[in-house]
Amino acid sequence: MRPLIVVVGPTAVGKTELTINLALHLSAQIISGDSMQIYRGMDIGTAKPSLEERKGVPHHLIDLVAPDQPFTVVDYQQHYNLVKSRLDGEGILPILTGGTGLYLRAVTQGFVFPSTPPNFELRTSLRLEAEIKGKESVYQRLLELDPVSAEKIHPQDLKRILRALEVTITSGQPFSQQHKARRTVLPPNIIYLGVTRAREELYARINHRVEQMIAKGLLEEVTSLLEQGYGVTLPSMQGLGYKEMIPVAQGRSSLEEAIELIKKRTRNYAKRQETWFRREPVEKWFLLKTGEEEICYKNILAYLEGRLNQVSNSI
């Protein structure tokens, strides 16, 4: 099997700049592991690499579907497998990177997911319950029906709560018993790295990124999506930045309130990401520091070149 480099870390840590630098040095291409960057027309709030960056280094699994098209982790697996096979056939080194832990786990650990067909009527009913009674209500139902899944899912992660409930109720079996990894130990061709920053520095970068998104036109992007008819309850429109800006676009909230809310929720999300990735089979963590990125990049590149030689010699 050909080598695969995986780079993970919390949002705003600097994965995009790092992986582009690595790709340029290693003649590699980047595969996105981000559940929001799959949507076309949602560019600013998802922090997609710019068109210029994508011209310099090809990126895959970005802009796959419209915001109202269903897309699951199983769909991601299928798209990833096609891209990875093609790059392997062309002798191109792939760098898989992103912040959606489940997507990355699905393709690195070969997860097998339940084949239960979608139950849209039940899903709509559960989402309506969450809107009326709150997320706590549906999370409590999951806790009663499948405590194993509930323990692994954050009480505010409505998308995953609803999916676990949908599968559990439809199939009559707990969601946690229906998906498993094909392997618990990563194959030797996968080089799995993590990047992090000091907490205060990461939070400052998150705050700055949110302000940049506003300056680039996040409100206008959300307004345009609403004008195109994309409903506010769509999973895509519940993403960080979009959900908070919808009331602003509708005149129900102030821009200042939304900005502070996005910052707060993004910081909380980054904390959950770090917790998730600390449980993953990351072989080495690298600390990025503002003003010292070039030194960090060189250290990571040197480490990768050594590991790539090891992998090549073992295949």
Task: List, in order of start, the domains of the chain with CATH numbers.
Answer: 4-113+181-314 (3.40.50.300), 120-178 (1.10.20.140)
Instruction: Read off the pLDDT of residues 213-235 as tens digits, 9 standing for 90 and up.
Output: 999 999 999 999 999 999 998 99
Q: Is the pLDDT of residue 315 over 70?
A: no
**Amino acid of residue 20:** I
Residue 179 pLDDT class (50, 70, 90 cuts) = low
pLDDT single digits (tens) 124-160: 899 999 999 999 999 999 999 999 889 888 888 888 8
Band of residue 246 on the pLDDT scale cut at 50, 70, 90: very high
Cβ contacts of residue 210 below 8 Å, gap of 6+?
241, 259, 262, 263, 266
- In tens, the pLDDT along 18-43 reads 999 999 999 999 999 999 999 999 99
- Model's pTM, two decimal places? 0.83
**Which residues, 6+ apart, have CB-to-CB distance to 22 below 8 Å?**
5, 7, 28, 95, 297, 300, 301, 304
CA torsion 66-16-270-187 (nearest 10°) is 90
- On the question of pLDDT at 181 being above 60, the answer is no
Strand 111-112 to 180-181 pairing: antiparallel
pLDDT over 70 for what percent of the chain? 97
**pLDDT of the residue at 183:** 60
Tens of pLDDT, residues 68-123: 998 988 899 999 999 999 999 999 999 999 999 999 999 998 877 666 777 888 98
Residue 211: what pLDDT?
98
